[in-house]
Amino acid sequence: MARKTRKITDLPGFRGFTWLFFAYLYAPLVLLVVFSFNATRSGTVWSGFSLTWYAKIAADSQIQRAALNSLTVAICATAIATVVATAAALAMKRGVPFFGRKVTGGLIMTPLVVPEIVTAVATLLLFSAIGLSLGLGNIILAHVAFCIPFAYLPIRARLERMDESIELAARDLYATPWQTLRTVTLPLLAPGIVSGALLALITSIDDFIITMMVAEPGATTLPLYIYGMLRLGVSPEINAISTILLGVSVGVVTLSHLLTRRR
């Protein structure tokens, strides 16, 4: 007599444990968002709905400058990292096989494996050794190295799902390698490139550890500014800024996921 197969969800207490886990994971985020709309400065007592703190941070010139620095760094780092990641993915998947191919692929993914604090310290030591002092340029260069694998993964995944026969057909029709790349490969690869760029963008905007290590005086990004405000305690302004960053992060990651699934 065949034994009845049981699902893991049928185990006693599984559903309750799952809901408890999600509550532990997301309850702090929910509280942060809720109290960013609180009418008073209290972080524990709800006093009514208000957009006061959002209006206050919108009028703060220092926050605006930090946000502009974050966007500048993220856009520049994303552009460079995406170009490098696209070239690397094409070389690894469509290029001529070479010795050490697997090792090279592993090296590309190293920033995802190595603890971020180690990457930050190593980058700081390198910049100090060569005397690099470019202001925001230091942060941009550090973010490029850290963001490449985030851009590389969706691009490589897209390449692996693409039908290579379409590119072979273009070559059979006397298209040069450059024409095939420009008119066939890159248009089909576009959703993966955009998805990778979005992941790199949000990784750069949210990064704190590497930025804190390599940032020079005057090169303050939004995460660094929030950290400076926290020294005076958690305030509704911090809740409001964090809520905006959370919304941007969720929106960008969702868009990246939808683009990755697009056929």
Distance CA 104, CA 89 (A): 11
pLDDT band at residue 3 under the 50/70/90 scheme = low
CA angle (85, 86, 90) in 5-degree steps: 115
Q: Quote the tokens at residue 151.
A: 């851009």
- SS3 assignment, position 38: strand
Burial of 56 (0-12, 13-18, 19+ CB in 10 A): middle
Q: What angle do CA 93, 258, 187 make, to 5 degrees?
A: 45
pLDDT at 98: 73
Q: What does the pLDDT read at residue 255?
A: 83
Give the DSSP H/E element, type plus range, for residue 28.
helix 14-35
Containing H/E element for 257?
helix 236-261
Question: Measured between alpha carbons, how far is 191 from 35 in angstroms, rounded to an integer?
Answer: 37
What's the pTM value of the predicted model, to 2 decimals?
Answer: 0.82
Tell me which residue of 50, 23, 77, 48 sits closest to 237, measured CA to CA.
50
Q: Which CATH architecture has domain 56-261?
A: Orthogonal Bundle (1.10)
Backbone angle region of 32, left / alpha / beta, with phi > 0 → left and psi within -120 to 50 → alpha:
alpha
- Residue whose entry in the numeric block shows the structure tokens 């009418």: 39
Could you tell me the residue ranges of all domains in the chain? 56-261
Q: Grade residue 107 by pLDDT with cuts at 50, 70 and 90.
A: confident
CA distance 143 to 207: 8
Q: Please give the pLDDT value at position 9.
A: 65
Average pLDDT on 34-56 reads: 84
The answer to whether 204 touches 78, Cβ cutoff 8 Å, is: yes
Res 92: pLDDT: 85
Q: Which of 74, 82, 63 is nearest to 139 (CA)?
A: 74
Mark out the alpha helices in 162-235 (DSSP H runs): 164-172, 177-180, 186-206, 209-214, 222-230
Helices (H) and strands (E) in the chain, counts: 13, 0
pLDDT tens digits for range 200-213 = 999 999 899 999 99
* Amino acid at residue number 236: P
Confidence of residue 10 (pLDDT cuts 50, 70, 90): low
